[in-house]
Structure 1
């Protein structure tokens, strides 16, 4: 009997949620707005590094990646690397100064410092930076100026 009373409430909640999803902002625009808010709150005149996406991995199955800025490791902060598969996206949420020399590195047992690619951060526009093609890996990171 208790379930019968909850079903109408659940149906109303699902209907309202569906209507909000149809009338709401597309997810990509919402993500971009959130990234811009984070950048404005945390970076000041710097550039906010948002999410890193693995377009192609350099090894079979997964890459173990980390990011350096001007030669110092900046991400991840709680481990040596982040293991990523093709198509996967992870949050970076780091601020770097305009002009920073970014390197996406791949860690493995033979050489813990393989470079997948590098970019120099410009601060004039919000854009994606691509790290390519060391050992065949290709990644993209969003940066909010």
Structure 2
């Protein structure tokens, strides 16, 4: 597996991965339709974020996007192809994002986590600091997590 910077022309591919990965958790069609806009990337969004992709051979199998400026940022997205979940790709992407955050001078980043992904982030060292409203589903609350970075 190789991790590299995402290219703006991969926005459609990354959107498709995000939608497949979200659906992996068993959400119904109505839920997925409500999330579609929030999970859709365009070339400008890929350029704005410090986006990374994980590749196995020529296949993109996951991606992550970090935004923000010192002292804090946000892990906006981290998604892995459903058939590759549990193979260390999410961990590798998260570790690279953490390194990238330190390198750009962030002291912390937050994550609005899907409840199904919260255990993964906690295992990676994130701490739950509260909850935040979903950007897609009115009335739904998401775990708000933080990753503190050593200076």
Normalised by the size of structure 2, how large is the TM-score? 0.27
Structure number having the greater helix percentage: 2
Q: Which has the larger radius of gyration?
A: 1
Structure number having the greater strand percentage: 1
Normalised by the size of structure 1, how large is the TM-score? 0.27
- Of structures 1 and 2, the one with the larger relative CO (CA 8 A, separation 6+) is 1
